[in-house]
């Protein structure tokens, strides 16, 4: 499960290392990007661009500062938010009810729905994680959307993180990751 060797190979210009990381993380990143922009075509372009950036900027990744996935997530989030700012102001409206491209209606797949351990959280904790992680809202934007004061929102975030921790027993954790890699890899 360790990415270190692949990252070292990637830093040496090994494309296969990038493809291996793609196989492992593209689903997770695509899930985030697609939920953020709700546009399948745009999400596919962004995903490709994210991995091209990873390829070009891997030298800037410092494993001492954090995990590879965290770094890749930041790239994905920034690129998606920038693309959304450029493309259409309708996307990411505050009431979250207006989108100009709702792929899920066409394909019948509900991209919005969250799965896994997050479903075990209380609804408002789920919402908190969804807004800040899968929708890319800052705390200041997200608390307004939820209609609670910023302080309360931050408390929700802390509680949600504690609940997440509690819901991830170590064994289940490995099992879920293995299943996921099996499914999407």
Partner 1 sequence: MDRKTILEKGLLLNYLLGELNAKDERLIESALQQDKVLRQEFQKLESDFERIALENAIAPPQQVKRSLEKVLNKERDNTDIPVKPLNTPGAFNPARLLVAASLAAIFALTSFWFYNQWQTAEENIRIAREEKEQLQESLQKLSEEMQKVNTMYAQLNDKDVIPLLLKGNTLAPEARAIAFVNHKSKSVVVNPKALPALSEEETYQMWADVDGEMISMGLVPTDQELVALTYIDRAESLNITIEPKGGSDHPTVERLISNAYL
Q: What angle separates helix 15-37 from helix 40-57, to the nearest 10 degrees?
A: 140
Quote the least distance from Cβ 90 to partner 1, whole Å: 12
Among 133, 144, 146, 148, binds partner 1 (CB under 8 A): 133
Query: Which of 7, 17, 30, 58: binder of partner 1 (CB under 8 A)?
Result: 30
- Shortest distance, CB of residue 23 to partner 1, whole angstroms? 8
Are 154 and 124 a contacting pair, CB within 8 Å? no
CB of 150 to partner 1, least distance (A): 11
Binding to partner 1 by residue 107, rule CB under 8 A?
no
CA dist., res. 135 & res. 77, Å (int): 9
**160 token code pair:** 């949600």
Binding of partner 1 by 144 (CB under 8 A): no
Q: Is 19 in the site for partner 1 (CB under 8 A)?
A: yes
Which of 90, 98, 102, 173 is close enough to bind partner 1 by CB under 8 A?
Answer: 173
Distance CA 76, CA 44 (A): 12
Task: Write down the residue that tokens 């190979």 correspond to.
Answer: 9
For every residue of 96-155, DSSP letters joined together read: S---S--HHHHH---SS---GGGGGS-HHHHHHHIIIIIS---HHHHHHHHTS-HHHHHH
- Chain residues binding partner 1 by CB under 8 A are 15, 18-19, 22, 26-32, 34-35, 39, 41-49, 51-52, 55-56, 64-67, 69-70, 73-74, 77-78, 82-83, 86-87, 111, 114-118, 129, 132-134, 138-139, 154, 157-158, 161, 164-165, 168, 173, 176-177, 180-181, 183-184
């Amino acid at each position: 499960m360790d990415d270190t060797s692949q990252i070292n190979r990637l830093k040496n210009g090994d494309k296969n290392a990038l493809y291996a990381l793609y196989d492992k993380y593209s689903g997770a990143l695509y899930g985030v990007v697609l939920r953020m922009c709700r546009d399948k075509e745009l999400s596919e372009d962004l995903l490709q661009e994210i991995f091209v950036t990873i390829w070009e900027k891997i030298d800037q990744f410092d494993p001492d500062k954090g995990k590879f996935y965290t770094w890749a997530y930041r790239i994905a989030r920034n690129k998606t938010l920038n693309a959304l700012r450029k493309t259409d102001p309708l996307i990411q409206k505050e009431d979250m009810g207006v989108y100009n491209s709702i792929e899920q209606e066409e394909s019948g797949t509900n991209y919005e729905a969250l799965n896994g351990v997050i479903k075990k959280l209380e609804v408002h904790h789920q919402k908190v994680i969804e807004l800040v992680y899968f929708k890319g809202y800052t705390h200041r934007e997200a608390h307004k959307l939820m209609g609670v004061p910023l302080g309360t929102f931050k408390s929700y975030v802390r509680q949600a993180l504690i609940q997440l921790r509690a819901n991830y027993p170590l064994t289940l954790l490995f099992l879920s990751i293995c299943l996921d890699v099996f499914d999407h890899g």
